[in-house]
Amino acid sequence: MIQDPKRIRIQDYNYDLPDERIAKFPLPQRDHSKLLLYRQGNVSEDIFTSLPNYIDKGELMVFNNTKVIQARLHFRKETGALIEVFCLEPIEPADYALNFQQTEHAAWLCLVGNLKKWKGEILKREMIVKGRLIKLTAERKQDIGTSQWVDFRWNNKKVTFADILEVFGELPIPPYLNRETQESDKVTYQTVYSKIKGSVAAPTAGLHFTQKVLDALKEKGVDMEELTLHVGAGTFKPVKSERIEGHEMHTEWISVNKATIESLIHHKGQAIAVGTTSVRTLESLYHMGVTLILNPEATDNDLKVKQWQPYNLPSKAQDISPVEALQALLAYMEHHELETLHSSTQIIIVPGYTYHVVKAMVTNFHQPQSTLLLLVSAFVKGDWRKIYDYAMAHKFRFLSYGDSSFIEN
């Protein structure tokens, strides 16, 4: 047991990842990726289409149904300078669905490429949207940390911001692919079950699933539920501090339906998470429930999970079961007549963390010295090198478009 998770040295989670082992493109058939199996400390391999063979009837799998938006917008100044505006999260209105429905104006928190060349003038660009010539403008309002408040305006009430992104925007594939976005990425960088627009990066463990694999799981009697966590650009944020305590986790927005909470309770608070985004959401639900048990008067704001919150629980919270926590969350939703819980999480899962809801996970192979690698290490109790050494020795493909793994203790 790690005594103080904050003191973890990130260099202890390094491994050599040659560029040629990073999958630049997906396989022609997404469910034909290799599948590494880590079960009770033993490592073996199969093909992803065989995943249903390793999941028992009656188990619950949870998927993140977020959809990647075409979040990169490019503007060229009259001087010729190219400015990239990368939409991170909505500001006005702050609700994703409402923002995408806006006509004529929307404000977003953005990362700006070539920022020093954008002196404050209004950027302009024209394109055809729904058969009409639309002029889109972008105006910098203020600095917010390392990001910018950007106001977008366009000249047609029948065109929504979702329409604007669909035409003006570019899909933001991961920077480590070191290539331009291609038309094929619009399909291959989305899960087949993606529904809710809002992510700027795909929940990549889900990219391996096809309708054929989903049908096979259903036929076997595996239960499936969905939740939404909008993946932020912070998922690619490198850990630059020597110890993990110096790294600030990004905040991500989640929404979970009441029916999903009820299903989790029915399955004794245990689930198989598809992807690290589902892992973080499921574990965050537990800590929201714990907050409600410790403070029945907790507000919406109190439910937001802070980065180190799970490591600072009072002794009386140590024995709260997943079912008890989820029941408290369900009671909160019923009391407030909520069909869907909207909240956020900044949770960081590192060695020393105790998993509560997640009993197994489907995940890809992550970057060296990343918070995602720490999350996996926490689950396998430090045995991550066995997994990664095997993957490297057996020609597995790494990162977003790479191969997959099924990990259970």
CA 177 to chain centre: 18
Mean pLDDT for the stretch of residues 180-191: 96
In terms of Cβ atoms closer than 10 Å to its own Cβ (0-12, 13-18, 19+), residue 63 is buried
Calculated CA dihedral for residues 102, 104, 107, 108, nearest 10 degrees = 70
Residue 266: partners with Cβ closer than 8 Å, 6 or more residues away? none
Q: In what order do the strands lie in the sheet with 105-113?
A: 72-76, 82-92, 105-113, 147-154, 132-144, 123-129
Instruction: Write out the two tokens for 106.
Output: 């929307």
More confident residue, 56 or 237: 56
**Residue type present at position 213:** V
Residues of the chain with CATH 3.40.1780.10: 5-67+188-408
pTM higher than the cut 0.85: yes
Q: What is the pLDDT of residues 90-147, one digit of tens each?
A: 999 999 999 999 999 999 999 999 999 998 899 999 999 999 999 999 999 999 988 9
CATH architecture under which domain 5-67+188-408 falls: 3-Layer(aba) Sandwich (3.40)
Q: What is the pLDDT of residues 259-288, one digit of tens each?
A: 999 999 999 999 999 999 999 999 999 999
Burial code (b: 16+ CB inside 10 Å, e: under 16) for 168-200 equals bbbbbbbeebeeeeeeebeebbbbbbbebbbbb
Position 257 scores a pLDDT of: 97
Q: What is the pLDDT of residues 145-184, one digit of tens each?
A: 889 999 999 999 999 999 999 999 999 999 899 999 999 9
Q: What is the pLDDT of residues 55-66, one digit of tens each?
A: 999 999 999 999
Position 2 scores a pLDDT of: 54
